[in-house]
Every structure is written in structure tokens, then in C-alpha cells.
Amino acid sequence: MKKWYAVIGDPIAHSLSPYMHETWFAENGVDASYIPIHVKPADLEKALSALKTLGVSGFNITLPHKEAILPFLDRLDETASIMSAVNTVVVDGNQSSGYNTDGDGFVESLFTTPVDISKKVLIIGAGGAARGIAFALKRAGFGTVAIANRTLQRAKELADEVGGFPMTLAEAENDLGEFGIIIQTTSVGLSENKALPMSLENIKAGSIAADIIYTPLETPFLKKAKEQKCITINGVGMFVYQGAIAFEKWTGVKPDTEKMMKLITSKLGGHYVNK
Ligand code: ATR
């Protein structure tokens, strides 16, 4: 029988996940559909039960449900458990298993550019996204991971957990030249917000600057980093790779990520450049 998958969130109308997964199903001859479902926070438990009753094979979870879904799942993999957040569920019979592919998705997107894991990494921000990325970087073998955050206490807590180094934003600004890879995970720069999380005056030419935001494709952080002659990576790669890892869990097939990055970039009105 035809399988079906979904993404649940609030809001959900602008999600690009249905387009991405439907395209991959078609490219790989998988007989399945993928639909967006608007679920309000108060309806989450009922929605999960309904999805299972109706025979969903798996689904993605986006804001604001990534943490709230935890108590309703039957099992969590190690990453989802460490992060206390789930973005992908596999349903097998009545059993639902939660995964979190965001951090690994980011790291895979980072490796679309030549990357040296001995380089020092700076993560700006210490929220949920930073958390997933910090753990994934450590799993991938990066030695030095510093975490700079507006609220130093949160940077300290995350650094303690992951074996990294906490910094204030001012300290990071000063020492920016020491880092070969700088990852921007705060919401600063999203949509019409023109701000930078910190001054990039001291960034070293040739270092990698990555942002997890993809609306806009070029955030003020990436624009400034490009002016300073850095190699820049926008959030499209993280979006595509977190989806590709989910797709493989559901179907056993590795989809074409390079082509999808081009498709998503052009859907977002940009010209795809892979350096
Ligand atoms: P997410 O799960 O998307 O990472 P979050 O947990 O709300 O979201 O975290 C948002 C991050 O952006 C935090 O690191 C936050 O800093 P604080 O811990 O000090 O709140 C950071 N952030 C948000 N607005 C910011 C701003 N104007 N300047 C600097 N950092 C900001």
C-alpha cells in the first residue's frame, strides 16, 4: 500500500519539507506522499494518536513541538535523548521512535566545503540549535569547540556538557581571528532583522562562516563575512541534509542532496554557488 509521511508544526504553511520529500520520492521511485499538517500545541497528543491510527509511516516535527513531543513517543535514539528534542519520527506498527537529525545535518552540510577538523570552531549562540550542532561537531571529531552567548551562563552549561569552552560575545569578538570555522546559530539576522550577533572586524580571511538561517539566503552575518573574504555557508545545506538523514531512515535510500540544494536555493530566489 502507498505509504504516507507528514510534517507537523505551528505555523506550517511555508514549510519546504513537503516539496523536498515529494521530489525525492519521485526521483527514487518510492510510492509515498508527504503532507504538511497544522497542529496547535494543545492538540499535539491527539494529533500523534490520530497520525498513528491513520497509518503514518513517519513524520517530521518542527517548531514549536520539537521538545513537547518527547513524552508521547515510545523510544528515543541517543542524539534525540541528549538534545531532549526530536525532528524526525519513524513509525513501525504502533511503535514510534524519535530522532534528531538537525546537528548531524548541519555537520554534513559543512563538509560540502573542504573542512579541516583540526581548526578551532566558534559557535555563536547556546540555544537548541547550537546544542545539536555542538554535539554533532564533537561526534565528527572537531577538537576545539568554543561557545559564545549573550547569556554567559547558557554558554557555560552547554560547554560543560559537550566539553567545549564558554565565552562572552565580547571575548569572541576580540578572539575571532583564532577560529577557522564560525557558526551563527542565533535568531539575529532572521527575515528583516538586519543586525549582527557581534562585530566581525577581527575575522580571518579564508575562514569558514556558516549560518543556520536560510531566510534570507544571505544573512547580514554572511554578507559581512563575505566582505571579509570568508568562505560562507548558508542554512539551505542544514535544511537539506537534516531532511536527507530523515529520508534515509524512512526509505533506506540516500537522496540527491546536491541537486536539492540547487532546487531549494532557486525556490528561495537565489543563485546556487557551492565553493
Ligand atoms: P533555538 O532553539 O532556535 O536555538 P533558542 O533556544 O531560543 O532558539 O536560542 C536562541 C539563541 O539566540 C540564544 O543563544 C540567544 O541568546 P540568549 O541565550 O542570551 O537568549 C540568542 N539570541 C537571541 N537574540 C539575540 C540577540 N539579539 N543578540 C544575541 N543573541 C541573541
Which tens digit of pLDDT belongs to each residue from 204-235? 999 999 999 998 999 999 999 999 999 999 99
pLDDT at 273: 66
Distance CA 11, CA 6 (A): 14
Q: Is the CB of 158 under 6 A from ligand 1?
A: no
Span from the CA of 154 to the centroid of ligand 1 (angstroms): 10
Statement: the pTM of the whole predicted model exceeds 0.85: yes
| 143 appears as a binding residue in the annotation | no
Q: Which of 256, 257, 211, 217 is nearest to 231 (CA)?
A: 211
Q: Is the CB of 127 under 6 A from ligand 1?
A: yes
Amino acid occupying residue 85: A
Please state which architecture CATH assigns to domain 3-100+240-267.
Answer: 3-Layer(aba) Sandwich (3.40)
Q: Minimal CA–CA distance to 253: which of 15, 32, 6, 62?
A: 32
The verdict on whether residue 75 carries a ligand-binding annotation is no
Asked if the domains at 3-100+240-267 and 104-234 fall in one CATH topology, the answer is: yes
Domains in the chain: boundaries: 3-100+240-267, 104-234
CA 134 – CA 126 distance, rounded (Å):
9
The answer on whether 126 is annotated among ligand-binding residues is yes
Helix (H) or strand (E) holding 121: strand 121-124
Which residue type, as a one-letter code, is found at position 120? K
Q: Quick one: which atom of ligand 1 is closest to the CA of 151? A: 19
Catalytic residues: 66
Looking at domain 104-234, its CATH class is: alpha beta
Low-confidence ranges of the chain (pLDDT < 70): 192, 273-275
| SS3 at position 229 | coil
The phi-psi region of residue 157 (left if phi > 0; otherwise alpha if psi is between -120 and 50; otherwise beta) is alpha
pLDDT digits 0-9 by tens, 125-135 = 999 999 999 99
Q: Is 184 in the pocket of ligand 1 (CB under 6 A)?
A: no
92 Cα to the center of ligand 1, angstroms:
36
Instruction: Determine the pLDDT at residue 193.
Output: 73
pLDDT number for residue 274: 57
Closest residue by CA, ligand 1 atom 26:
188
Identify the helix (H) or strand (E) that includes residue 53: helix 44-53
